[in-house]
Structure 1
């Protein structure tokens, strides 16, 4: 079966429409918009870094204009959203709950996630939660005389709680101070949720359809991202789905991708011109860096894990999407006590500096409010050497005027 050729411009469009980043409020407003976003994307990654608003809130803010953190908390409380593991810690729509059981069953059967199981301790924890109700890790004391060496030095009870969470015995019913509150799964699940464990074939079909719905197009390696040992079997399922017409194959710049049948109908939609999105490093669009380089010619690395002397753009540089291209990155930090949003480094990668900055300004205002800031300060602005110093100077003045207003 021959693959259809698709231009890189159309490939980008297919991706951005699927991700809901092509226009304002692609998935609606309020609670419905947040739930629709999760159902389309299949997950939103949770991350601990909080130099600005956390990644899960940031990614949803980019898709739901009136987003606030309490909307996600409401959906968790209403049991429409649950927390588990996708390729990383994530919020997922409750409609996908049964597919989490495939991994939970494997871990309960002996697959190691992080920790070895302590049967005695886990049973004690289950009994306490059964009798006392939802509990946090801090409700279980560290052994006498033991001290924590850091967030990575989990006490035995925390390890046991996480093991039970990964096995599916416990669920996180909410977070307090960003710490999970655990309850028995039997009490945490809504009535009527499907708890049948999918077969291997069903699970692979789920991974394929979910990935392609959210991302527009992907190859088998991207669909199997960070899931060890499944690429070969998953590829066979893709070929079966291709043969029976559920998938199509596309070729872009010499690379082959799968897409859902009829997904190219979304190419009829337009990408909003002049729209800038300040993205989280953990946004669903960006999480596979090689894919971003292949499809968007954007070489991105989060530098919080890079030694400071080797950083090019900053500790937590945020990719700046302008229409269907990446036009720069911005290292930002919110000082919560003072309300100061500090742009430590704004690096512009398009020659259209003035046009880009004019489109960036209204989004910067919204980003300031989203982070509950009151003042914005720009420390450094840079652009490729070929661009004129006058353009950079003018851009700096425009942003500083925003800071003063």
Structure 2
């Protein structure tokens, strides 16, 4: 049983997410460590997949590096709303092929079996294709799923076929995905791993990305991966990555990191509260009158503490990064103010625009 102070637990979590002073060198290194780079088009500053990588690599990151890693080098692949390292394919593909769908989805697929065969045949003959290139021959329309899907059932069918490993995304044209049958996208020589063994390996990779996580967390399920740990002042049962523990003596220290609201560091909200005493509420879907920090406020991490929230937006007409507010969750001292302002100015330089409002 490892016994950790809160400071140690926070530093392990920060380093696991590559948010310490030792910045990674490229997009593949980031993906290999953190597992998933979330894709989201909301771009008050930049889309999630771009700002997540900038938060780690810094000014040298450019979007073509990500495109090349996915579409040319095939070192990353897109699946279920994120970019993942191709080293995860041996454990993800068995899970895809044995995935259990919800009853309503199973019924919809049965009612649209001919439509499913039409989509696969079209991709096999003419792929890769955009969803717009595939006719909608569905017998039953796609469920609205809370408004995420329109009347065209093709995107819904493609996403379900992706989840069960029958089709895959090969790249994008702008924000539109290009689809093909999975056998032409995923390697044919993947090792034969059982569903259960694949699940255990995925838990190990999740713990690698988290550094430390609750043993039975619905947000970061790590099961028995890693080693047992206690954290000072916490009653939770923790699991910690042994490699992260071994690296504690070489901690390079912290830095300022401005995080996209969909950053993986923020995903496990209960862990944020338990370890960092940080309650983060994304106000994107709140009525404007109920927002306290802004539509898409980016948390500001300094070392191992969340000390502020940046409400800023890229004004494309004026080619300026406008800082609407920099909320101090705790009063900034002079050094923290200077460091945070410098990071915001670096964000502007990466975007290629000046910063106003600081």
Shared fold (TM-score, shorter chain, > 0.5)? yes
Contact (CA 8 Å) 1:16, 1:324: kept in 2 or not? yes
Q: Which residue of 1 aligns with 2:130?
A: 136
Question: What is the TM-score with the length of structure 1 in the denominator?
Answer: 0.79
1:51 aligns with 2:44: yes
| 1:314-373 CA-partner distances (Å, limit 9, x unpaired) | 00000001111111001111122331212222101232343222112221122113334x
1:196 aligns with 2:196: no
Q: Which residue of 2 aligns with 1:35?
A: 28
Equivalent pairs counted in the alignment come to 346
1:310-389 correspondence runs (5 A): 310-372=290-352, 374-378=353-357
1:82-231 correspondence runs (5 A): 82-85=77-80, 89-107=81-99, 110-111=101-102, 116-117=108-109, 118-141=112-135, 152-190=149-187, 192=189, 194=190, 196-200=192-196, 202-222=197-217, 224-225=218-219
Contact (CA 8 Å) 2:9, 2:231: kept in 1 or not? no
Separation in structure 2 between the aligned mates of residue 248 and residue 142 of structure 1, nearest angstrom? 51
Separation in structure 2 between the aligned mates of residue 113 and residue 71 of structure 1, nearest angstrom? 40
Contact (CA 8 Å) 1:137, 1:158: kept in 2 or not? yes
1:70-85 correspondence runs (5 A): 70-77=64-71, 78-85=73-80
Gaps of 5+ in 2: none
Cα distance change of structure 1 residues 344 and 121 upon mapping to structure 2, 3 Å threshold: same
Separation in structure 1 between the aligned mates of residue 150 and residue 243 of structure 2, nearest angstrom? 49
Separation in structure 1 between the aligned mates of residue 87 and residue 279 of structure 2, nearest angstrom? 35
| 1:220-258 CA-partner distances (Å, limit 9, x unpaired) | 233x428xxxx7xx74xx1xx6xxxx5232333233211
Cα distance change of structure 1 residues 176 and 151 upon mapping to structure 2, 3 Å threshold: farther
1:112 positional shift: 5.5
Separation in structure 2 between the aligned mates of residue 293 and residue 97 of structure 1, nearest angstrom? 32
Q: Which residue of 1 aligns with 2:277?
A: 297
After the TM superposition, which of the residue ranges 49-58 and 264-273 deviates more from structure 2? 264-273
SS at match of 1:47: coil
Between structure 1 and structure 2, the one with the greater Rg is 1
1:235-246 correspondence runs (5 A): 235=223, 238=224
Separation in structure 1 between the aligned mates of residue 127 and residue 294 of structure 2, nearest angstrom? 44
After the TM superposition, which of the residue ranges 336-345 and 120-129 deviates more from structure 2? 336-345
| 1:256-315 CA-partner distances (Å, limit 9, x unpaired) | 211133532222133535x21111111111111111111011111110011211111000
Gaps of 5+ in 1: 379-398, 400-405
Q: Which residue of 2 aligns with 1:264?
A: 245
Give the superposed CA RMSD: 2.5
Contact (CA 8 Å) 1:19, 1:214: kept in 2 or not? yes
Contact (CA 8 Å) 2:345, 2:354: kept in 1 or not? no
Cα distance change of structure 1 residues 113 and 14 upon mapping to structure 2, 3 Å threshold: farther
SS at match of 2:213: coil
Contact (CA 8 Å) 2:309, 2:327: kept in 1 or not? yes
Cα distance change of structure 1 residues 377 and 37 upon mapping to structure 2, 3 Å threshold: same
Contact (CA 8 Å) 2:322, 2:356: kept in 1 or not? yes
